[in-house]
Amino acid sequence: MSQDPELAEEPEPVGFGRRRVLGLVAGGAATAGAGLGAGAAALVQNEQSPEPQRPGRAWETVRGTGPGQPGIAEAPPAHLRLLAFDLEPAAAKAALTAWTNLAAELAAGQADLGLAPAALTVTAGLGQSLFAKLGRPVPGQLTMPSFAGDRLEEQRGGGDVLLQVCAEDPMVVAFAAEKLRRVPGTRLRWQQSGFRPTAAASVNPAATARNLMGQLDGTANPAPGSGLFDSAVWAQPSGTTFLVYRRIRMLLGTWHDTPPAVRERVIGRRLTDGAPLTGKAESDPPELNRRDAGGEYVIAADAHIRLANPGVNRGARMLRRGYSYDDGPEDAGLVFLAFQADPRTAFVPVQERLAASDALNRFTVHTGSGVYLVPPASGTCVGAAVLGL
């Protein structure tokens, strides 16, 4: 859910051409940590990067910037739909080509339905099962270990291909998803919707959003265009990245029945403004070595922001683009999405630390998981080069 600046002691767009087509995702987790509880590994970024203002995004066409697919570096729109598919091997190239073409067409708007572009992006990620089906070597970055406390449900994770569909208008997302589902030779494995505060409903659209726990979520992400962003997000070849997805159910009844002071201790941040318990403002770096008059750490030893901090995780960082979800009574929480250059040195070690001793674990359950290679935005068939198509 949240990502913290480093330890104080340690300095530390729409209608895109076919070469800028598909793009998948993690966006944010501030105070409660990007990966929430039993391995919320998402609080790992440095450099505060407030989301840009989003006026008029209903009419915006996202064309993508840099070498990666759209839907990674841009400000996250308000609505999300994840679509995971299994493919027939013989139909893989045709399906990926069709999705590449559809992504470009949908980003320009759906005039036949009277729908504006609404900053729509479609981002494609490739799962390890697709490499295996096509007889290709499986990249080591796609191997995800199990974590303590996981209660993963088979129908909520995995898949040959994951499409991340984002837009400011839920109607645009719904109609785009319908068209993407109709591509021949594919079978929908699972889907998940998510949402963030809309620009229209926000007093300040650039402010850090809150999640369903009421915590500021997404406090510190590496800023697009910065050296930190490039090193944290992009792998080789240029524009390649890896997406980690986790579906994290929040035990909201238990959480909201817990006294506010205890909730703040669990996270290590104030509820009111997201400031670390050692600071005055949301962007203040947490002072992890500060103790109170009784000799206890002000930010507890098992506080989420301590365990997820880059300063205690060898500088591990990710770009989070998280969304809330609400699938009915007793099933609401966070769709954690994080882009990174290598999950083996970013998400995995942080998640292992969180799963072992994060105080947030007793308020969350991880029910879905996946890791996907997100290839560069080039060519008329996304992933053709890496898959040998």
User: 270 by DSSP, 3-state: which?
Assistant: coil
For position 27, what pLDDT does the model report? Answer: 36
* Domain spans in the chain, listed from the N-terminal domain onward: 18-384
Structure confidence at residue 268 (pLDDT): 97
Asked if 4 is an active-site residue, the reply is: no
Q: Digits of tens for pLDDT over the chain (389 positions)? A: 544 444 434 333 333 333 344 443 333 333 344 444 433 333 333 344 444 444 456 667 776 666 899 999 998 999 999 999 999 999 999 999 999 999 999 999 998 899 999 999 999 999 999 999 999 999 999 999 999 999 999 999 999 999 999 999 999 999 999 999 999 999 999 999 999 988 777 777 777 888 999 998 878 789 888 999 999 999 998 899 999 999 999 999 999 999 999 999 999 999 999 999 999 999 999 999 999 999 999 999 999 999 999 999 999 999 999 999 999 999 999 999 999 999 999 999 999 999 999 999 999 999 999 999 999 988 899 999 999 99
Beta strands in 60-99 (DSSP E): 79-87
Question: How confident is the model at residue 1, as a pLDDT?
Answer: 56
φ and ψ at 132, to 5 degrees?
Answer: -65, -40
324: left (phi over 0), alpha (psi -120 to 50) or beta: beta
Q: Give the pLDDT of residue 217.
A: 84
* C-alpha–C-alpha distance, residues 378 and 133, integer Å: 23
pLDDT of residue 73: 92
Q: From the candidates 160, 169, 217, 358, give the one annotated as an active-site residue.
A: 217
Give whole-number Cα distances, 373 to 236, 267, 280, in Å: 11, 31, 39
Could you list the beta-strand ranges (E) of the chain: 79-87, 121-126, 161-167, 186-195, 241-250, 319-320, 323-326, 332-340, 364-374
